[in-house]
Copies of this chain bind each other. A is one copy, B any other.
């Protein structure tokens, strides 16, 4: 998506800290009209699959997932909750996720009521980097005996291992911008 690449370039000042900044439209302030364009693009990419449920992770995946849902006949959205506490509630699926950016491990949890056997689940998130969060969501879907029809992310950090890890696990991945961060700037693949 050209407009997405433009916005990524506008927000990102690589000389300063090498971080992709999308807080003006995606993960702090949200441009809802632009999210609608993103949602249409997800629908285009996944027009060939049946989607019974959209699964995402709090907090910045939620806005993208609910606007995407409108393109998939308002299919229900479930967002995994993050928790630091040891929680053994048997009504939930749990997975551990290691976050490199925060250098910490957290649990994500999804109620067993809301992902059920045989459902076709589309996973939606803002970023794909090392793939740990997406794979944890996939593992929850598998525990529920449901099917992952694909993972759709707005921005893929193409110099990290996320895509490789998902493809090795047999998961289809669609990203709307593939960003390669080099010392001298950003390139799109």
8 additional contacts, CB 8 Å, given A30-B65, A66-B67? Answer: A23-B114, A29-B111, A30-B77, A32-B75, A32-B76, A58-B58, A59-B79, A63-B66
Of the candidates B30, B59, B65, the one whose C-beta lies within 8 Å of that of A76 is B30
> Are A29 and B76 interface neighbours, CB within 8 A?
yes
> Are B66 and A35 interface neighbours, CB within 8 A?
yes
> Are A77 and B33 interface neighbours, CB within 8 A?
no
> Are A63 and B81 interface neighbours, CB within 8 A?
no
Report the Cα distance A103→B67, complex, angstroms. 33
Interface residues on A, range: 20 to 34
- Residues of A in contact with B (beta carbons under 8 Å apart): 23-24, 28-33, 35-36, 58-59, 62-63, 65-67, 69-70, 74-79, 81, 110-111, 113-114
Select from chain B the residue with minimum beta-carbon distance to A111.
Answer: B28
Of the candidates B58, B59, B69, the one whose C-beta lies within 8 Å of that of A32 is B69
> Are A114 and B78 interface neighbours, CB within 8 A?
no
- How many Å from the CB of A13 to the closest CB on chain B? 13
> Are B78 and A29 interface neighbours, CB within 8 A?
yes
> Are B77 and A29 interface neighbours, CB within 8 A?
yes
Report the Cα distance A77→B30, complex, angstroms. 5
